[in-house]
């Protein structure tokens, strides 16, 4: 599914009117009628008790006027609350406001906060609300009368249908600009907007319904959106299907460099995850002192004890042995539980510069590259990095809060500047590619906020690459699969308490579901 920015959506509207020749008045009519259909699909019972329509002065308000007319013509009791005055309306919005007069639809003008305060009893008569205040072009914090009105609607506790986007939500980042409507349902026009899929916007959007209002599909090619929502079919396309006469040598051999004292579990989880998604062979390379532990944790993976810089710690002495091992492998995963030692950082940088096969870098591998990202520029192999917001902040010399405020911008910026694939983990994981294309993942849940989940993802990405899947596609597929398996676990076990080990065991069945249903 394509996702658009506010600017891209405005361009689509403009091209539909100017180049395709569909008048703006028709687009507004189509939008209002489709929004009415979705409104009645969800709120027909509540609407019998009274509908309040909050309308702004722009085209979003014009959509609200069309909805009011359509509902009134079907016999629903409707009242419009206009923030501003009728004299302040222009164009198509003014024309649709005028059509409410012969239908005797009451329109209450609210020019200031004093007028708003006097309407509390009227608000109580509305059993359900339509939010048509502010559209997708909002780019500054909501304040004054609009903020007061948004807070008043939220305070009623009544369900809300948002028209195109909940008022106060940034269509581009998913951030709430000052104050935002909390919608139960959002009906959006033409294409989903990025901010409706990213948190916190995803929570305030509620159920998202995308409707066609007459924008020709071919115009998308002219706008060329760079954002997409991952789907089951896209994920399934990245899952290799084995021939009946397959053997382990055809499914590739992965090398995992991981582990340090107290963190052997991370190494084991990554290795086993690669096997769970179908890698034929996995060799887990770690400090020699950890080998006895890892051999008991990973019965199906081979181990390769490496020379140590300190007990259980890898350093530059392990570089040449690792490179020799990697020459026969299809992928090298680096980082889970590797530890923070400075000597280990020297090793990681050497591996990045000289790896003969694609790299997946996670956890301590990323932390050891912080401040030295030039090591990733121009490397001979494709690279996938999988930071969580804290790790991303260290890579960018920013704060986690700054990363979360612009997840797509941060991920894309790093991907394009270094020519790598970036998987920014978290609720609605973002996958950004070197060409600037971005995918947003809809799967996963809060139960995944537990240790080891990221190690499983690292192994899953590397395991798919090992089977011959291109690194970018492997990242997208593994992220979707990882979250979908967690959703299945949450349904079967409960919303919290399932572990990374449970997720490992759930991966094969989830692969089967995706391949069967897509």
Cβ atoms 297, 311 nearer than 8 A: no
Q: Report the distance separating Cα 249 and Cα 293, nearest Å.
A: 27
* Per-residue pLDDT, 479: 98
- 45 CB contacts (<8 Å, ≥6 apart)? none
For β-strands 438-440 and 227-229, DSSP reports them as: parallel
Interior CA angle at 160 toward 154 and 164, to 5°? 115
Look at the block and give the residue holding tokens 């020699």: 288
- 381 CB contacts (<8 Å, ≥6 apart)? 355, 356, 357, 358, 359
Q: Report the distance separating Cα 71 and Cα 79, nearest Å.
A: 10
Look at the block and give the residue holding tokens 């403009």: 14
* Per-residue pLDDT, 122: 87
Cα separation values, 301 from 251, 295, 469, Å: 14, 8, 21
* Per-residue pLDDT, 517: 86
Half-sphere exposure of 192 (CA within 13 A, CB side): 25
Token pair of 48 as six digits: 């019998």
Look at the block and give the residue holding tokens 């760079």: 226
* Per-residue pLDDT, 431: 98
* Per-residue pLDDT, 152: 94
Strand partners, 78: 51
Q: Report the distance separating Cα 38 and Cα 24, nearest Å.
A: 21
* Per-residue pLDDT, 518: 76
Cβ atoms 54, 122 nearer than 8 A: no
Residue spans of alpha helices (H) in 74-180 = 91-98, 113-117, 120-124, 144-156
Q: How many residues does the chain have?
A: 518
E-assigned strand segments in 307-459: 331-334, 359-361, 383-385, 421-424, 430-432, 438-440
Burial class from Cβ neighbours inside 10 Å (0-12, 13-18, 19+) for residue 155 reads: exposed
Sheet (strand 51-55) strand order? 107-110, 78-83, 51-55, 128-132, 160-163, 185-189, 207-211
* Per-residue pLDDT, 89: 92
* Per-residue pLDDT, 124: 86
Q: Report the distance separating Cα 141 and Cα 174, nearest Å.
A: 13
- 429 CB contacts (<8 Å, ≥6 apart)? 423, 440, 441, 444, 479, 483
* Per-residue pLDDT, 120: 85
Q: What domains, with CATH codes, occur in the chain?
A: 2-225 (3.40.50.10260), 232-239+248-382+441-508 (3.40.1190.20)
Q: Measured in Å, how far apart are the chain's first and last C-alpha atoms?
A: 15
- 241 CB contacts (<8 Å, ≥6 apart)? 515
Looking at the chain, the number of H-run helices and the number of E-run strands are 21, 19
* pLDDT tens-digit readout, 385-433: 999 999 999 999 999 999 999 999 999 999 999 999 999 999 999 999 9
Cβ atoms 178, 149 nearer than 8 A: no
* Per-residue pLDDT, 262: 96
Strand partners, 361: 334, 385
Parts of the chain with a pLDDT under 50: none
Token pair of 162 as six digits: 């948002």
Q: Could you give phi then psi for residue 440, rounded to 5 degrees?
A: -115, 130
Look at the block and give the residue holding tokens 């990697």: 326
Token pair of 56 as six digits: 């702004």
For β-strands 2-4 and 227-229, DSSP reports them as: antiparallel
Axis-axis angle for helices 91-98, 59-73 (nearest 10): 20
Token pair of 499 as six digits: 């572990």
Look at the block and give the residue holding tokens 């349904």: 491
């Amino acid at each position: 599914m394509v996702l658009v920015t506010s600017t891209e959506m405005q361009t689509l509207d403009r091209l539909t009117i100017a180049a395709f020749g569909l008048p703006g008045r028709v687009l507004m009519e189509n939008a209002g009628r489709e929004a009415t259909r979705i409104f009645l699909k969800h709120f027909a019972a509540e609407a019998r008790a009274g509908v309040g329509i909050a309308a702004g002065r722009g085209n979003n308000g014009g959509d609200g006027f069309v909805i009011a007319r359509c509902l009134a013509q079907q016999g629903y009791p409707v009242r419009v609350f206009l923030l501003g005055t009728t004299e302040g309306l222009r164009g198509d919005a003014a024309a649709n406001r005028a059509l409410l007069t012969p239908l005797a639809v009451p329109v209450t003008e609210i020019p200031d906060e004093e007028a708003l305060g006097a309407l509390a009893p009227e608000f109580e008569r509305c059993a359900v609300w339509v939010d048509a205040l502010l559209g997708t072009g909002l780019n500054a914090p909501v304040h004054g009368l609009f903020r007061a009105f948004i807070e008043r609607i939220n305070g009623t506790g009544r369900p809300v249908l948002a028209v195109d986007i909940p008022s106060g939500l940034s269509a581009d980042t998913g951030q709430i600009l000052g104050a935002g409507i909390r919608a139960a349902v959002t009906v959006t026009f033409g294409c989903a907007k990025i901010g409706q899929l990213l948190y916190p916007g995803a929570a305030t959007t509620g159920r998202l319904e995308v409707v066609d209002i007459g924008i020709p599909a071919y115009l998308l090619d002219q706008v060329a959106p760079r954002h997409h929502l991952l789907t089951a079919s896209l994920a399934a396309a990245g899952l290799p299907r084995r021939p009946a006469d397959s053997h382990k040598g055809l499914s590739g051999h992965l090398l995992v460099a991981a582990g340090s004292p107290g963190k052997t579990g991370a190494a084991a989880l990554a290795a086993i995850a690669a096997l769970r998604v179908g890698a034929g062979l996995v060799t887990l390379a770690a400090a020699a002192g950890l080998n006895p532990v890892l051999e008991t944790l990973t019965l199906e993976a081979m181990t390769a004890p490496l020379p140590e810089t300190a007990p259980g710690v890898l350093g530059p002495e392990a570089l040449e042995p690792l490179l020799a091992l990697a020459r026969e492998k299809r992928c090298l995963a680096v980082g889970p539980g590797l530890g923070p030692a400075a000597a280990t950082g020297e090793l990681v940088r050497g591996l990045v510069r000289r790896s003969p096969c694609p790299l997946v870098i996670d956890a301590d591998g990323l932390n050891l590259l912080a401040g030295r990202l030039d090591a990733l520029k121009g490397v001979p192999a494709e690279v996938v990095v999988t930071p969580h917001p804290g790790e991303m902040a260290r890579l960018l010399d920013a704060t986690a809060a700054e990363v979360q405020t612009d997840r797509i911008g941060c991920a894309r910026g790093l991907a394009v500047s270094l020519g790598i694939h970036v998987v920014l983990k978290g609720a609605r994981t973002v996958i950004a590619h070197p060409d600037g294309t971005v995918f947003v993942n809809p799967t996963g849940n809060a139960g995944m906020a537990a240790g080891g989940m990221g190690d499983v993802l690292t192994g899953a990405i590397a395991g798919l690459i090992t089977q011959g899947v291109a690194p970018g596609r492997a990242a997208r597929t593994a992220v979707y699969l990882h979250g979908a398996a967690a959703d299945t676990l949450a349904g079967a076990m409960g919303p919290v308490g399932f572990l990374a080990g449970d997720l490992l065991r759930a991966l094969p069945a989830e692969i089967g579901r995706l391949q069967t249903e897509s």
